[in-house]
Amino acid sequence: MHPYIEDYALIGDLQTAALVGRDGSIDWLCLPRFDSPACFAALLGGRDNGHWTLSPHSPEARAERSYRGDSLVLDTVWETPTGRVRVTDFMPQRDRAPDVVRIVEGLDGSVEMRGVLRLRFDYGRVVPWVRAAQGSRVAIAGPDSVWLRTPSHGTTYGKDFSTRSDFTVAAGERTAFVLTWHPSHEPRPELIDPFDALADTLEDWRTWSARCRYDGPHRAAVIRSLITLKALTYAPTGGIVAAPTTSLPEEVGGVRNWDYRYCWLRDASLTLDSLLAAGYLEEAGAWRDWLLRAVAGAPEDLQIMYGLAGERRLPEAELPWLAGYSGSTPVRIGNAAVEQRQLDVYGEVIDSFHVARTAGLPAEPHAWSIQRTMVDYLETTWRDPDEGLWEIRGPRRHFVHSKVMAWVAADRAVRALEANPKLSGDIDRWRAMRDEVHREVCQQGYDHRRGTFTQFYGSAELDAATLLIPRVGFLPGDDPRVVGTIDAVRRELTHDGLVRRYSSGDVPVDGLPGGEGTFLACSFWMVDALQLSGRRQEAVQLFERLLELRNDVGLLSEEYDPAAGRQLGNFPQAFSHIGLVGTAFGLLGGAGAD
């Protein structure tokens, strides 16, 4: 069995990230980018698929871990019968080559340590050739080369196709391991000083975190979520990945295992809202600019997701040599949902530009022409069925959320023209579209007998995405139809107070076997909806409950299983942390509500 998903912590360098377990093992790392093949893939297979363990030799060792201040530097303090030792893991923001640094420092007594480095390139499939060179160990296979450097090289040796290190650390002593990747055809990259890199990395994160504008009762949780979002940003382009992992299951042992190492347009406006509210204008501008580059082109070619630099082709494949997380197969890379038709993304893109515009981000000259073209295209297509927000791998339907976001697109376009008459566009036609969409959704997407909006026209099923109706301004939060939807979702879609995405019905709408956990972003949407409907006390109670689901270092995955009491899905999940930040600001702004 694998460790629980919440047993991992995150380190990263703003271009890729690694997951470090409570046991001191790095079980997931893709180099050099988030979407590159993993060289440590034990997370989705076994130890033979690659890991790097650094921990005390004693089986009685016990660990406590935390991030050092407001940073992404992870400290794990091990207590053993003979002493205490601290292992500090981090990835410095890179100049060129990615580095993983692990510093071992004796605190009390002396501790025998053990290191096992098992590199397996191409998602755990390729065993590299390892040799000693220039006082280091170098592993090479095809295009990949990794160097391991440590002052303890005298105790480093090869065994069972792995590199091992046995050494003892006494109080006051420090030793460091540095793992560096580079293309195998290039010369060895310049060496870094691990202790200088630690000081620089801490200062980089302290400076960044100090810019946060949130000043409320949940500041520590908000900053940790913002640091996580920053860590999921691909710095060269400004794109933000949904998660640094692939195929962590929505149901342990199930088939709902997807690759989330890409950038989703569905996250656009919510991400901008959170970044701008927290005062991170530079990051918001970089995300807006990535969005502009990614969506440029014919509106009918708009995709729901793109690669880190805006790549469009993300072909899906299965990796049969990996046994999956706790037997959850298949393990997938790429994402076939990129080919889906999801009309809501037009509204999300246009709303994100509206958010940026109202926040005062400098406008790009061509941004409005892209938005105008999208609205004109959506005017002729919003009546069509689609796969919806949740990437349903089943028949297309008239999803209510998709129609609501079509209304958002028209509404934001109208508001842009009202605020700036110099912009070109047919405001009367767009107003007519906005009114027609609104009228149709209220007639065909609302169940008058039950008093709730439904998942799609004519259905009895519910969808948590309808909780966004008051947030996007489609209806006021205290409208009886919104209140009825909140109550229906709480009755039919919640488990232990947490919200599932949608009801399954007799035949699952997504066309897939098995189930899934409660969806954390949807649970934050419930907090928002309760707050907007005037039920502040209930909102605060649910928010506090959600904060309790974070792991010991403040991270959230995509989903949560209340019955098993464990996190599920890809980890850490940007959508969950975006929800936390946005909801915290929403509660802060509505602190005076009854």
Mean pLDDT of the chain, nearest integer: 94
- HEC-encoded secondary structure of 50-79: CEEEEEECCCCCEEEEEECCCCCCEEEEEE
Residues 6+ apart with CB under 8 A from 69: 202, 205, 206, 209
Nearest to 325 by CA among 117, 42, 565, 555: 42
At residue 135 the predicted structure's pLDDT band, cuts being 50, 70 and 90, is confident
- Type of residue at 313: R
Going from N- to C-terminal start, the domains of the chain cover: 5-208, 211-589
Range 485-501 average pLDDT: 96
| Beta strand spans in 271-412 (E) | 305-306, 317-318, 332-333
At residue 154 the predicted structure's pLDDT band, cuts being 50, 70 and 90, is low
pLDDT, residue 592, reads 40
518 neighbors 542 (Cβ within 8 angstroms)? no
pLDDT, residue 505, reads 56
Task: Count CB-CB contacts under 10 A for residue 109.
Answer: 14
Distance, in Å, from the CA atom of 8 to the CA atom of 552, rounded to the nearest integer, reads 9
What stretch of H or E contains 108?
Answer: strand 99-118
251 neighbors 516 (Cβ within 8 angstroms)? yes
pLDDT, residue 515, reads 80
Q: In Å, how far are 14, 190, 586 from 99, measured between CA atoms?
A: 12, 11, 38
The correct answer on CATH 2.70.98.50 for the domain covering 5-208 is yes
Q: Which tokens go with 480?
A: 């009886």
Range 247-264 average pLDDT: 96
Strand pairing report for 17-21 and 8-12:
antiparallel
pLDDT, residue 435, reads 98
Higher pLDDT, 153 or 406: 406
pLDDT, residue 295, reads 92
Is the bond preceding 572 in cis, omega lying within 30 degrees of 0? yes
pLDDT, residue 241, reads 97
Q: Which tokens go with 517?
A: 């956990």
Distance, in Å, from the CA atom of 239 to the CA atom of 354, rounded to the nearest integer, reads 19
pLDDT, residue 136, reads 86
- HEC-encoded secondary structure of 486-548: HHHHHHHCEECCEECCECCCCCCCCCCCCCCCEEHHHHHHHHHHHHHCCCHHHHHHHHHHHHC
pLDDT, residue 589, reads 78
What stretch of H or E contains 101?
Answer: strand 99-118
The correct answer on CATH 1.20.1060.10 for the domain covering 211-589 is no
- Percent with pLDDT over 70 in the chain: 97
Q: What is the pTM of this model?
A: 0.96
Range 117-142 average pLDDT: 93
DSSP assignment of 561-577? ETTTTEEESSSS-HHHH
The half-sphere exposure of 403 on its side-chain side, counting CA atoms within 13 A, is 25
- Position 17 pLDDT exceeds 80: yes
